[in-house]
Amino acid sequence: MSWLLNAMSDPMLKTADRIDWLRSQGYPQAILYEAKRIYPASDPEMKYFVWVAKLLKEKGLPYEEGRDGLTARLQEIIDWAQHAKPSNLMSMDFWQARQAAFKWHQDSLKWNPAELVEQYQSKKVFDLPGNWWIAELTPQDCSVEGKLMGHCLSKSRDYDTRVAKGISRMFSLRDPEGFPHVTVELTRDETGDWRVEHGEGKQAQEPIPKYRQLVDAWLKAWNIPVPGKLFRPDQGVE
């Protein structure tokens, strides 16, 4: 068990070493392959890979939300583990770890929204009726947007990386006080034009009609095709 704990926690240990050790312990290649597929990309060191592979082999993991949904749940657990550094993670099953992660995330949400809005670095890019407006997010804005909106921009580093590299552009519908109500991701299509990849209202839901109308007005003004639905779970982090 001591080697197992070291395999999970040693920061100098490479992912390949962890995989080789798991193979030496009789872990099937199919288990290791699937563990790599569902493991969150935001942890390139794959520090908790041993724990994920162990659950797959011994107890299984829930796939009710699909592979992407499971990866999102594992991301939440890894965020908690990286901060809390629990000594008993290897003895936890998925649901015990998720419950602990959920409590940690809830506690981390105890912030003042008005103070968080002040942390935005984004600039206004389009004016809308009633003093509403569209802002374009910087990479640093993604976590702020996610916290205020209650979706996964606050938990995944993939978004800020894509924005920083120019792969995506992230926009936010703001009210007159500067609070966000819809987040929209744009990516380029096969012709190089910008299109809507994904959009979310609060708590990762389809925006309400009032906000959707404002977003559509902006998209039309910028000659961006307006999709039937903004929120598409297969395209986003959730």
CATH for 214: 3.40.630
Same domain, 103 and 178: no
Identify whether residues 123 and 203 lie together within a single domain: yes
Domain range for 200 is 113-221
Shared-domain flag, residues 26 and 87: yes
> Residue 73: inside a domain, yes or no?
yes
122 and 59 part of one domain: no
Same domain, 123 and 141: yes
Q: Say yes or no: 27 and 119 in one domain.
A: no
Does 117 reside within a domain? yes
Residue 152: predicted pLDDT? 65
CA-to-CA dists, residue 1 to 8, 88, 91, angstroms: 11, 12, 10
Work out the burial of residue 60: count CB atoms within 10 Å of its CB; fewer than 13 is exposed, 13-18 middle, 19 or more buried.
Answer: exposed
Give the count of domains, the chain.
2
Q: Are residues 95 and 120 in the same domain?
A: no
The series of mean pLDDT values per 10 residues for the chain, 238 residues long, is: 44 65 89 91 83 90 84 87 86 91 72 74 93 93 83 65 89 93 93 91 83 96 90 48
**Calpha distance 157→130 (Å, rounded):** 33
Query: Is residue 238, in this structure, part of any structural domain at all?
Result: no
- For 2, the token pair is 């001591």
Of the candidates 194, 207, 206, 208, the one whose C-alpha atom is nearest the C-alpha of residue 232 is 206
pTM value is: 0.54
**Do residue 129 and residue 215 come from a single domain?**
yes
- Based on the fold, state whether residues 54 and 82 are members of the same structural domain: yes
Whether residues 142 and 187 fall in one domain:
yes
DSSP calls for 148-206 = HHTSGGGT-SHHHHHHHHTSEEEEEEE-TTS-EEEEEEEEE-TTS-EEEEEEE-TTS-P
